[in-house]
Amino acid sequence: MSFLKNLKHDLYYNLIFPIRRFLVYRIWDRRYVITCRRLRKLGYVERDRVLLHACFQILCDYVERDLAWVYYRGQNIHQIGKLQKMTFHCGWNRSRNSSWGLRYLENESRQKNYSYEEREALGKLAKLYRWWNEARGSRPDIHDPNVTLFAIMEYFSRNPFFKVEGLEKKSTKEIERLLYEEDEFMSQEVTKLMKYIRA
């Protein structure tokens, strides 16, 4: 009897599981491919911008797919609407729900069983996600003649990590340089927290 049990175990892990894993991760859910959703519309893009978008796309995928899935699995069935539950569950973890992912991050950042450093990192991930999707998504183009200095100052005030002083005295070139430095700084912030992004 144990021989058959071992044969079944060996057959599954040595033959069936590798084929299943190959099919799932190469055809259905290709996790090794990062599709930067915001870069699709652009033509040629510099490599530093691709790196920035890739870092934040990993963060977005983590919050919208992985953490939302964990939040969904931990919720009571009656707390989630039937249609929302059905569409998320049928997506096989390909559906996206940012509010569930952010709720999970905020709940976990308040848990006492994590160290202070881990709680701070989880809170920072939520802030970075919000910055990328809310503030950075609506960044004014400084080359547009209709953009005012007030709009640029308001944009910089919404970033909790990168503070700028004396913006009204700066030229367009200096503001452009500041925007580049902000992108560089924010990609470094996400890269520092990559060890907390685990699927």
Q: What share of the chain in percent tops pLDDT 70?
A: 81
Maximum mean pLDDT: which of 8-12, 124-128, 154-158: 124-128
Q: Could you tell me the two tokens for 192?
A: 């520092």
Reported as a single tens digit per residue, the pLDDT across 179-188 is 899 989 999 9
Place of tokens 């930067």: 36
What residue spans define the domains of the chain?
1-33, 47-196
Which amino acid appears at position 194 of this protein? Answer: M
Q: pLDDT averaged over the chain?
A: 79
Q: What pLDDT sits at residue 190?
A: 92
DSSP 3-state assignment of 152? helix
Mean pLDDT of 78-93: 50
Angle at 92 (CA atoms; ends 11, 51), nearest 5 degrees: 100
pLDDT tens digits along 25-67: 667 666 677 778 777 666 787 888 888 989 999 999 889 888 8
